[in-house]
Structure 1
């Protein structure tokens, strides 16, 4: 698919018809609080829906309870194995590349501020990490999984933010387009897939072409479950590169919200890193992965570690070589990676399960304004230059 300014503008005006209609009806009938209360008991797929759930919610949950019928389960298993093999690196890329990339897109930075507030950065990171872990479990799409209900709730969360911003006239739709529009939904899918793969490549991680394509495929499935228009979403990594390049060129730039969110992300992870000596590595990693221009827009401080971090790909390359050559080494590094990911997620969630709920209002202090085989090692598609 060829993306043009006109096609991207059209995506900017579109939301999610099914989820938007569901949320609008819940608010019209005054049933949001009741829905949120009852949905706290729906955390695993296949569980009976609670008595008293609003009819419109029941219809939505039944309509979205299964993955798309086009899913290739063999490809999803490849994606899961890719995640197991690279989980700690993927977590690093999500935290220090994908999230800051969101902050450098002004409409997205404003929306993230609206969704979670400027005072609670750990909530966004915890929800993102938990969602990814749920996705990559062997039973992600089976009865008893936590991923399917999480996806259903996140989709409604997006619709509720659109509802509030429109109803309260706190979003300049004429200038910014629809809140959490199709363009931004696809952009987010690109951040969590294509940009993550770019970051792993930048870190020197050994990836097969087969594994990289499977990981991207898994996020295509996620996008479908979150209401992304499947006629518009990139079908391949090559198309993903074209979309991501054009999307970033159309929107990226500095904002107060973006810089504030980034500062809080840095502070959050400096608390996670033991002691203070290694604190600057957080800023250095962000700068290394997103580049100096974006880092400057986000007010990421320069530190002496900026030079040190450039040696990380060499170190990881040594570890990757050990993993490639030794089954025991591969097992040990996979276990260490899993432990690291679990500990990181535990520190963000403080041992709690994150619940996704429809906010009944947006707080004023949110600051919204209208201003597998390595024979074929994977390399990112070349950058494109929009015409």
Structure 2
């Protein structure tokens, strides 16, 4: 498919041919349960696959066991260092901007409602956090790394959701396109890359252009591993800006599902924040990062902290000054950021390792029905004019 920096209807009709074929075969042969049981033991790249694994799954795992041949490993290392230097800020952006942004697209919010466990609403955040931490480890793509097996499972998870929604006639493909279609997967790639960079800029975090481009490049690699057609993905940050702006203008809006998922997200993070005095900062930070219009669509409550949170960039600026002027301070802040990220992930996972299994069915009661140097600091590309 030719590369584009604007959303197209063709992208809404395409899923992931390889993963879709594997999942369809597993269901046809009644091998999903066997696959899920055995794949719990497949956690690191390069390990021997268990005996009894269905042949179609074994072949899929072999075919997808390596990153794309075009990967520039120097860029990937720069992206990893960028993540280490900004890990707590990136986690904040993912939690308070990227996830709510997913809920701003009504058909995506409806789809996510089909896969959320209402008794465990932190699951998706835990899976996302664990996935990102695996990605930015030094051995992410080497034997013993945990990222590639996780990505292989996530790709099949997406295919399983497509399989269920289409087979059970719970998705209006004519109106909405294929569930988790290529356009939405590219949109998700933008949410977790350029929207994170936008949020870091909004928080006042210093970034070089080189660092921002490397971080975006890493998510292009991730997208390729997850089955996103990179021939259709924007190559530069400027092209990504145009795609994301037009995608959001085309699809974003209010929905009951989006508001409900956002409420779950706010409740989740209010549980993580110690005590109750600082609870309103959760809503205030979401509102600050996504803007008032989007926050109103998601029914994010207004609080007295909405003004206070605007001081966050100045506080982070002080911390960056300490980091720049003191090697010991830089080391201490990096360690604090790492520990904060680990603590946050531990709170979300509740001490469990998250397994990305193929769902054998979707919950009927989730209501998925047919519907329609400082001087060289990086600054976001200008917004696309509609």
**TM-score bin, normalised by smaller chain:** over 0.9
Q: How far off is 1:241 after superposition?
A: 0.3
2:172 is aligned to 172
- How far apart are the structure 2 equivalents of 1:30 and 1:316? 53
2:86 is aligned to 86
| Alignment partner of 1:46 is 2:43 | no
- How far apart are the structure 1 equivalents of 2:23 and 2:30? 10
- Deviation string 1:358-379 (CA, Å, 9 cap, x unpaired) is 00000112221223x5552111
Q: How far off is 1:3 after superposition?
A: 3.7
Q: How far off is 1:232 after superposition?
A: 0.2
Q: How far off is 1:120 after superposition?
A: 2.6
Contact 1:213 1:237 (C-alpha < 8 Å) held by counterparts: yes
1:276 is aligned to 276
Q: How does 1:1-387 map to 2 (within 5 A)?
A: 2-4=4-6, 8-371=8-371, 374=374, 376-386=376-386
- How far apart are the structure 2 equivalents of 1:230 and 1:78? 21
How many residues were matched structurally? 383
Contact 2:161 2:179 (C-alpha < 8 Å) held by counterparts: yes
Contact 1:117 1:365 (C-alpha < 8 Å) held by counterparts: no
Q: How far off is 1:110 after superposition?
A: 1.1
SS at match of 2:300: coil
Q: How far off is 1:116 after superposition?
A: 2.0
Q: How far off is 1:246 after superposition?
A: 0.6
Q: How far off is 1:355 after superposition?
A: 0.2
Contact 2:157 2:357 (C-alpha < 8 Å) held by counterparts: yes
- How far apart are the structure 2 equivalents of 1:295 and 1:336? 30
- How far apart are the structure 2 equivalents of 1:112 and 1:252? 15
**Superposition CA RMSD, Å:** 1.1
SS at match of 1:231: helix
TM-aligned CA distance change 1:250 to 1:55, over 3 Å: same
Q: How far off is 1:162 after superposition?
A: 0.1
Contact 2:115 2:363 (C-alpha < 8 Å) held by counterparts: no
How does the TM-score come out when normalised to structure 1?
0.97
- How far apart are the structure 1 equivalents of 2:250 and 2:297? 16
Contact 1:118 1:260 (C-alpha < 8 Å) held by counterparts: no
- Deviation string 1:264-320 (CA, Å, 9 cap, x unpaired) is 000000000000000000000000000000100000000000000011111111111
SS at match of 1:115: coil
- How far apart are the structure 2 equivalents of 1:87 and 1:2? 30
Q: How far off is 1:112 after superposition?
A: 1.0
Instruction: Give ranges in structure 1 of 5+ residues lacking alignment.
Output: none
- How far apart are the structure 1 equivalents of 2:217 and 2:139? 17
Q: How far off is 1:239 after superposition?
A: 0.8
Contact 2:4 2:234 (C-alpha < 8 Å) held by counterparts: no
Q: 348-357 or 107-116, which moves further after superposition?
A: 107-116
Contact 1:155 1:227 (C-alpha < 8 Å) held by counterparts: yes
- How far apart are the structure 2 equivalents of 1:375 and 1:150? 39
- How far apart are the structure 1 equivalents of 2:4 and 2:156? 30
How does the TM-score come out when normalised to structure 2?
0.98
- How far apart are the structure 2 equivalents of 1:123 and 1:90? 19
- How far apart are the structure 2 equivalents of 1:273 and 1:385? 38
- How far apart are the structure 2 equivalents of 1:225 and 1:385? 32
- Deviation string 1:112-133 (CA, Å, 9 cap, x unpaired) is 1112244432000000000000
Contact 2:189 2:220 (C-alpha < 8 Å) held by counterparts: yes
Q: How far off is 1:176 after superposition?
A: 0.7
Q: How far off is 1:8 after superposition?
A: 1.4
Contact 1:20 1:159 (C-alpha < 8 Å) held by counterparts: yes
- How far apart are the structure 2 equivalents of 1:364 and 1:215? 38
